[in-house]
């Protein structure tokens, strides 16, 4: 009886163990207070110096490309002027050859040039946006920067249209004024680009400094900027 | 996952509140009225909370090498089995104390750490309060037995 009683009273049950907490995947969230450690805003896949060099290279290369395209277009519009001066853009061809090629393909060249101009623009500015941490972060964080970017984009597209239209329609009769559509595009594009550049410059000088400072500065600077 | 959430406490504040009220037995309409919101919001929050809890319980079971026997999303409990230890295990959740893994002990009296036993009792009282389980003389019962009494009421499979 005693044995039965003692068995009946024996304690059996559940006791806890502190659960092992599964390791969480690193959160993609942005922690402000931890960002002020060394160059936190830099894209880790690009060392700072090489990314700067790359941006410079793209900018210089793009500028030269645009300059060459501009010269080609200009020479096509004023081929008689250049032929008089025996100006050779392409070695191995004389002025009359160039004139012949350009006259017969002016529309095509204009459209291609427009595409190249726009591509160069994208290459330069998008690359800067992506590789330059300050501008990239500003563009990501500030809606006004995106607006400025949009102004620039639409402006360049409009200018490209304008140039293409002007060249295409006015070349065969050099004295013919460019069509109204082209003037409209050109004017709109110019205004948009000017507004975009001014806005971008204003925002960069207003916010860029504080962000640049925050990159190498304290967490408070950074938090202040984003607050 | 919300910023304040963690694996041991996966619910947001609103999810905790609504889940706790539902577990206590309040109706959705009453909770909606009390919190000055809609029934739809309460139901959605409850479902989201249950889904989060279920995922967390399964994660914890996996990390602790438990074979899942049954999951009780509404009770936020999981019944499992540890093949190496050859013991049944239960994972529980309370809004105030978070998650805990329980193993079956044949000789719980061998555990003599007073602080540990007191903490366990507090946790069990919290579970009992949250789930609306009433146990008489809870203070005099050994926590292991107390746990068994609560769990058998919440998990029907333990009665057999």
Looking at this predicted complex, what is its ipTM?
0.73
Residue contact A15–B120, C-beta within 8 A: yes
What is the value of pTM for the model shown? 0.44
Chain A residues in contact with B122 (beta carbon < 8 A): none
pLDDT at A85 over 50: no
pLDDT at B141 over 50: yes
For every residue of A75-120, DSSP letters joined together read: HHHTHHHHHHTT--SSTT--HHHHHHHHHHTHHHHHHHHHHHHHHH
Min Cα distance A10 → chain B (Å) is 8
Mean pLDDT, chain B, rounded, equals 85
Min Cα distance B122 → chain A (Å) is 12
Q: Give the closest of B8, B100, B109 to A16, CB-based.
A: B100
Residue B159 token pair = 């009665």
pLDDT at B23 over 80: yes
Report pLDDT for A205. Answer: 72
Mean pLDDT of B66-89: 88
Most confident region among A122-131, A172-181, B102-111 by mean pLDDT:
B102-111
Closest CA to B148 of B140, B158, B137: B158
Chain A residues in contact with B8 (beta carbon < 8 A): 19, 21
Tell me the three state secondary structure of residue B76: coil
**pLDDT band with cut points at 50, 70 and 90 for residue B159:** confident
Residue contact A14–B111, C-beta within 8 A: no
**Cα separation, A48 vs A41, whole angstroms:** 10
**Cα separation, A155 vs A185, whole angstroms:** 9
Mean pLDDT of B12-31: 87
Report pLDDT for A130. Answer: 59
pLDDT at A156 over 50: yes
- Residue A174: Cβ within 10 Å count: 10
Place of tokens 């020479």: A75
């Amino acid at each position: 009886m005693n044995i039965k009683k003692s068995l009946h009273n024996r304690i059996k049950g559940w006791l806890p163990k502190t659960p092992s907490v599964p390791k969480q995947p690193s959160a993609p969230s942005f922690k402000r207070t931890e960002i002020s450690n060394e160059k936190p805003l830099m894209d880790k896949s690009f060392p700072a110096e090489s990314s700067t060099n790359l941006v410079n290279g793209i900018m210089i290369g793009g500028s030269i490309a645009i300059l060459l395209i501009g010269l080609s277009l200009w020479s096509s519009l004023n081929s008689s002027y250049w032929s008089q001066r025996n100006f050779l853009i392409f070695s191995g061809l004389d002025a009359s050859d160039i004139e012949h090629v350009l006259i017969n393909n002016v529309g095509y060249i204009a459209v291609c040039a427009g595409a190249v101009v726009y591509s160069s623009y994208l290459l330069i500015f998008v690359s800067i946006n992506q590789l330059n941490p300050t501008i990239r972060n500003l563009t990501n964080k500030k809606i006004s920067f995106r607006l400025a970017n949009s102004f620039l984009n639409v402006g360049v597209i409009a200018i490209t249209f304008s140039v293409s239209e002007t060249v295409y329609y006015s070349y065969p009769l050099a004295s013919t004024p460019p069509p109204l559509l082209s003037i409209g595009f050109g004017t709109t594009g110019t205004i948009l680009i000017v507004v975009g550049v001014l806005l971008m410059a204003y925002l960069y000088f207003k916010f860029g400094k504080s962000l640049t400072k925050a990159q190498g500065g304290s967490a408070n600077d950074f938090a202040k900027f984003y607050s | 996952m919300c910023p304040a959430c963690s694996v041991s406490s996966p619910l947001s504040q609103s999810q905790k509140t609504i889940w706790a009220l539902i577990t206590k037995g309040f109706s959705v309409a009453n909770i909606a009225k009390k919190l000055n919101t809609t029934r739809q919001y309460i139901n959605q929050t409850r479902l989201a909370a249950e889904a989060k809890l279920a995922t967390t319980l399964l994660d914890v079971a996996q990390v602790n090498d438990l074979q899942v026997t049954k999951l009780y999303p509404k009770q936020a409990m999981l019944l499992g089995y540890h093949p190496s230890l050859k013991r049944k295990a239960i994972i529980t959740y309370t809004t105030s104390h978070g998650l805990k893994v329980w193993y079956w002990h044949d000789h719980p009296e061998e555990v003599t750490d007073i602080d540990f036993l007191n903490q366990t009792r507090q946790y069990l009282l919290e579970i009992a309060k949250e789930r609306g389980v009433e146990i008489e003389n809870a203070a005099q019962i050994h926590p292991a037995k107390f746990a068994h009494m609560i769990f058998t009421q919440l998990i029907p499979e333990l009665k057999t």
